[in-house]
Structures are given as structure tokens and as C-alpha cells.
Structure 1
Amino acid sequence: MNMTRALTLSVALSFCIVPAAIAMQKGAEVASREACAVQMVGGWVRMPPVAMPMMAGFGRIENACGDAVAVVGVRSDAFADVSLHETRIVDGVSRMRAVPRLAVPAGGSVELKPGGLHLMLMQPRGSLEPGDVVEVVLELEGGQTRAVELEVRAPTGR
């Protein structure tokens, strides 16, 4: 093979190999992001003791990723409105406030529990019974979303 042909073949192969390597790297990055996806463990909805237009959701939001994430919104087809709230005792009075951004540290978690951080689930769009499962979508800073499931439980939380 003469030098010109060898050089031409070498250049042609580099045009095939480099894009393939870049595509493989991008695929690995996407797979890595998916592998460390934010999830909710033990998610549940507490039914109110009497019929009410609101419920509360709880569970542990886990972030197995190497970077911190932030939940900046929540939605669900099962409810007219869903938001993050926090209950705090201020001057001996229980007060609730909206939480516009919930940071979840890299490799860490945040607990949503009665008397603290929770999901405010307003105006259910249908009847719910203990044992039902509802889907809630966590909206993450940067535009990603994660669908999670919450099990409906009796007012006692069981």
C-alpha cells in the first residue's frame, strides 16, 4: 500500500472512530445519570379521618447521584394541586409554609414525614381508598422529572 493510500485510509477511519467514541461517551453519561436517578422510598399518602379536600404525602427522597439536586415543583394527575410544604412550631403554634426549592444532597436523602416536610395534595380528582397507588412527578431543577408512586394509607398511617 502506498503512503497516500495509507494516509487516506487513516483519515477516513478517524472520521468513523471519533464520532463513534463521542457517541459512546454521551451514551455512558446518559446511562450514568439514569442509574443515579432520584427516587422516593416508602412513599405514602395519609387519608384524612373525615372527607377533606386535602391530603398529605410522605416518604424519603433519595439522591444516589454524585451531584446535589433540587426539587422545584411537584404535580400529579390524581390531584388538582400538589406542592411541597413544611410544618414548623413557631411560638408554640404549628404553622405551615410552602417550600419552593428542596435541596437533596449528593448521595443523600431528605425525609418527608408528619409534622415536618411533606407534600400537600389538594383536591383529589377521584375517590381514593387505602391500598390505592397514586403517581406524583417530582420536577427537578434543570428540567428533569422523576415519577414516583405513593401508596394510600388509612388515617392512622398504616
Structure 2
Amino acid sequence: MTKNQWISPFIVAAALVAGLAGNASAHTEAAHVEVDGAWVRATVPGQQGTGGFMRLKAKESLTLVGVRSEAAAVSEVHEMKMEGDVMRMRAISALALPAGKTVELKSGGYHLMLQQLKAPLLKGTEVPVTLEFKDAKGELSRLHLRLPVAMTAPTGASPAAEHSHGHAH
């Protein structure tokens, strides 16, 4: 049994317990990444994309290299930044998570993008999301989460960021 196979059920159970408790800002921790304040913005019928938000804190330096969700045909890590007078958004292939530092995925900055949604994401439901990380040795790990869907950031999430949380490895 690999490390990922052992931890994934723990993480899923912890994420489910946090969700069942109704506390979207609950803190969950796995072997190497803490996820806090995670959530996905609700959509309206016909809307094809939405954002996912959270705070990530790696115990050892890791790189977020991917995101997957069965709710969307395309899932990416995105960056928003000013280029001159224009705010630009683009997919990025990797996001560094320095050891012990919190990296926030929030509106107007780094965030998850779920595109080509298969159905509207309704407030009060949950969305399965898998985060993919690489360590310094190039080993891939995955963190399976169920993120709450909301119109605004859950209580306890960063008020300025309007975002949410999870853990990995």
C-alpha cells in the first residue's frame, strides 16, 4: 500500500466530517499539507466556470501542480495579476508552497478554476476536488477534498479573500 492510498481515506473522512459538521472553515490536516477555509463559488444555470478558494500550508516545500474535479471538464490553477492597467487571468502549471508558509488561493490572485461545468454548482452542496502536489524528489501526491459550494466565503475564511480550505500528501 502506498502512502497516498493510506492517507487518502483519512483525508476524505476528515473532509466529510468537517462538511457534515456544517463548519466550512474547519481545519483539516494530512501528512504534508494543511487546507483551511476551502470553498467553491456557486453558479447559476448556464454559467460555465467558477472559482475555488482556500489557504494551503505545506509542512515541507511542495508544488501544487494540478487540480481535478468530476464537476468540470477543465480544472486548472489560475493566477490573476495586473499587467499595466489590465487585470489578466491565466492558467499556471505550478504554484510553489514553501515549507511552513501559508499560500492563499483567493479572488484576484491565485485560485482554482473549474470550467466547462457539467451542471450548475448549487449553494449548500459539495464539489469533489483533487489537488495534486510534487515534492522536492518529484514524487506526486494527491489530496481528495469535498469543498462546500457557497455564494460568499464561509465564516472563518479570509474576509478579504472570500475563499476556503483542504490538505494533502
SS of residue matched to 2:80: strand
Of the two, which has the highest radius of gyration? Answer: 1
Contact 1:43 1:149 in 2 (8 A): no
Higher relative contact order (CA 8 A, sep 6+): 2
Aligned CA distance change for structure 1 residues 36 and 47 (closer, same or farther; 3 Å): same
Equivalent in the alignment of 2:42: 47
Moved more, 34-43 or 120-129: 34-43
Corresponding letter in the other structure for 2:71: A
How far apart are the structure 1 equivalents of 2:44 and 2:109? 19
How far did residue 48 of structure 1 move?
4.1
The TM-score, its normalising length taken from structure 1, stands at 0.70
Q: 5+ unaligned residues in a row in structure 2: which ranges?
A: 8-28, 155-169
How far apart are the structure 2 equivalents of 1:91 and 1:122? 27
The TM-score, its normalising length taken from structure 2, stands at 0.66
Corresponding letter in the other structure for 1:41: D
Equivalent in the alignment of 1:56: 51
Equivalent in the alignment of 1:21: none
The equivalences for 1:55-134 within 5 A come to 55-63=50-58, 65=59, 67-134=60-127
Equivalent in the alignment of 2:32: 37
CA-to-aligned-CA distance 1:49-98 (integer Å, 9 cap, x gap): 673100011111121x2x20111111011111100001111111110121
Q: 1:145 aligns with which of 133, 142, 147?
A: 142
Higher helix share: 1
Contact 1:39 1:146 in 2 (8 A): no
